[in-house]
Every structure is written in C-alpha cells, then in structure tokens.
Amino acid sequence: MRSPSSSVTRGFSRRRAIAAFLAALPSVYFGALAQAAARRPTPAQTEGPFYPVTLPQDSDNDLLHNGDLSYNEGRSVWLEGTVTDMAGMPVANAVVEIWQCDDAGHYHHPGDGGKADPRFQGFGRMTVDANGRYSFRTIRPVSYGARAPHIHVKVKRGGRELLTTQVYVAGDPGNARDALWRNLTVVDRDALTVAFVPQAEGFRAAFPIVVALG
C-alpha cells in the first residue's frame, strides 16, 4: 500500500518538472502566444450591389489611370497594408481587390446607370509581395445617398475568397449616419475605420488585414 507521503512527493515532483520545462522555454514563445491570442480576423461586411459585373481591362493597382486616361478629380490617396494570418505570417499569393465610386458618387456598374467617369478605373487588384504587403493609388472615398465614404475590399487566394469588407474614413461625419457602420461593434469599427493622413500630395491610409485560413 502506497503511503500518502509518497503520493504528495510524486505530485510535487511532477509540478517541479512542469515548472522547469516552462522556465526553459524562451520568453519569445510566450510573447508569440499572447500576440496570436490578441489577433482578431478583420471583420467582414457585405459586398454590396456594385462589385463589377465584368472586370475592367485595366485592373492594376493605380485607379487614377484607366488605360490612357488620367483621373484628376477628388483627392488622391495611397491605401496600403499587409495581409497576414492569425499567427501574424504573410499570406503568400493573396490577391487584394478594391472598388469604389468616383468623386461624383458613381460606380462602374450597370446598376448605377453607367454614370461613372470613364477616366476613373474604379476597380483594382494586386498580388501581395513576399511580406504580404499591398498598396493602391486611388481617391479619398466620398459619400453617396445614405452611405458614408468607404472603399470595398476583397481578399482571395487561389479559387477561395478569404474576406470581403469595407474601409471607412476616421472622423468622417457620415459614419454616424451610415447603418452598416453603426451596426458594427466598437471593436469592429476600430478595425475598419482608419485615418486618412494628409501628405505632401494627397493622403495615406494604412489598413492591415488579418484573415483566418482554417
């Protein structure tokens, strides 16, 4: 028959062994775990009715040039960021698409009456680089109807759609009137509402994207 003292001793020894194992792990391991736990996937939002029926022939990341045409309306902006997974790693071969209305509030879409300025590309896409980075040259979005200024964003990889969402302008008075923005939680608003920072020429906005690959 085992004595109670031997059971206590074995239990104490196991706790010491576990403590020694954990102490041997590098602190960076715990930092990575904490960071992963704090990461959240970028909130999804509706695609909306104006995703292009047919993608334009010019579909690069410069929406201010549509073929040989140049668009000089509105205020130019660089929208840029990274696409990473829940572990903070770049998502290789991810394709980022954006689309938005022109400075007069019109989309390149038959449902919007075909009123969009032909000089504005209106849609762009690019494959992220080795670090997951993307960048688009476009215009600061404008409001139309009841919608606050926003840019639509979609992330794909291979034949799979990873995310569809919308990016809003921090501090814009139209946000509070927009039903889609109002229905977001405070945390989700923070994730989708970014500062459009004035630069020497136009604006710059950083929009990091986190996707769940599982």
pLDDT at residue 86 in the model: 96
Q: What is the mean pLDDT of residues 78-94?
A: 97
| Band of pLDDT at residue 12, cut at 50, 70 and 90 | low
Measure CA of the first residue to CA of the last residue in the chain; give whole Å: 50
Q: What is the pTM of this model?
A: 0.82
pLDDT at residue 39 in the model: 80
Other Cβ atoms less than 10 A from the Cβ of 207: the count is: 21
pLDDT at residue 16 in the model: 59
CB 59 within 8 A of CB 124: yes
CA-to-CA distance for 211 and 163, rounded, in angstroms? 7
Please give the structure tokens belonging to residue 123.
Answer: 């849609």
Using alpha carbons only, what angle is made at residue 63 by residues 59 and 66, rounded to the nearest 5 degrees?
70
Any long-range contacts for 37-41 (C-beta under 8 Å, 24+ apart)?
A: 39/86, 39/87, 39/88, 39/210, 40/187, 40/191, 40/210, 41/86, 41/163, 41/210, 41/211, 41/212
Question: Among 5-14, 132-141, 153-162, where is mean pLDDT lowest?
Answer: 5-14
